[in-house]
Amino acid sequence: MQLYNKLSAIERAELIEKAGKDRLTLSFYQYARISNPQELRDQLFIKWDSLDVLGRIYIATEGINAQLSLPADSFDAFKIHLDSIDFLKDVRLNIAVEQDNMSFLKLKVKVRDKIVADGLNDDTFDVTNKGVHLSAKDFNEMLANPNTVCVDMRNHYESEIGHFDGAVTPDVDTFRESLDIIEADLREHKEGKNLLMYCTGGIRCEKASAYYKHKGFKNVYQLEGGIIEYTRQVNEEGIDNKFIGKNFVFDERRSEKISDDVIAKCHQCGTSCDAHVNCANDACHLLFIQCDNCKAEMDNCCSTTCKEIHALPFEEQKELRKGQGNSNDIFKKGRADHLPYKKDLRNIFETFKK
């Protein structure tokens, strides 16, 4: 019985191309008590592998977080299977704004300690005491309220290419890092301001809103379904779009265009650009923003050094990597010192401290 992916990304891409079927990219999450995550993991892998589901799914005792793609003609069977699982019946599915048959090329179902790395001790507060969920229309109204502080709960490389108009965008690398920074910088406004939060699909705000209520914030609100659901409602209901730029996504697409605005710049030359790439040097793989001109000039690399290494024969590159581990740049997400136009550090809450 197969319980793990056995095909490479290249082999899977060839099969998708040969099948010639349109695929749907979607995501969902659900907090629930799961007594045996490993057993559920194996059951899901077997069933979803049979439906040609590909993606990245995390399961923990606290619930499930799934980002995946599947053939469009398998959607009904997939939905029926979800509804057969008690805690996933009628779960909200966030359908991607922009579709790409190659968004995922492997099926990875993993058991984790948490479905989102938040660094919190859930036993110290009531995780079910969440903030008020807002539709796109209500979110816009709250956003326009002068007594509202709107906070982007994503990381700097996500908000750099797109965010809500007027939102505070914490300059952080991880979700867990942002939690204490936001709480500390807004400590004087726990009772007087509306704390309005959003993220990609809603999962980070679910935990963060309960955490901030535990920390004493009185008026906590969150965007139901995140940016993905907001965009769906904007498109279907004719609501004014307050999101500018692109929504960063964690698959091969890298992003979805929400508006025509390009708010970021190439990290190498400074020209207007919002296309994230990974450095082509296998020893680096730094995620950064690169325009087409720099991509051609630098051979899809982030530095001259990486370009020189990438040009070497494959076996020589392997020898250079032996015993070196990954470059520290891989964790900097566009902050590497050799990128002259990386995002500047700044005091993100200065406006609200006055």
Return the active site residues: 199
Give the three-class secondary structure for 210.
helix
Residues 149 and 189 sit within 8 Å (Cβ to Cβ): yes
User: End-to-end distance of the chain based on CA atoms, in angstroms?
Assistant: 62
Task: Say if CB 115 and CB 56 are below 8 A apart.
Answer: no
- List beta partners, residue 152: 198
Dist. CA 52–CA 96, nearest whole Å: 18
Residue 261 and residue 320: Cα distance in Å, rounded? Answer: 41
153: left (phi over 0), alpha (psi -120 to 50) or beta: alpha
CA distance 80 to 83: 5
Q: Label the pairing between strands 23-31 and 255-257.
A: unpaired
Torsion angle defined by CA atoms of residues 267, 272, 274 and 276, in that order, rounded to the nearest 10 degrees = -30
Q: Which SS3 state, helix, strand or coil, does residue 5 take? A: coil
Find, among 32, 108, 107, 106, the residue nearest to 64 by Cα: 32
Compute the distance between CA of residue 306 and CA of residue 113 in angstroms, rounded to an integer.
35
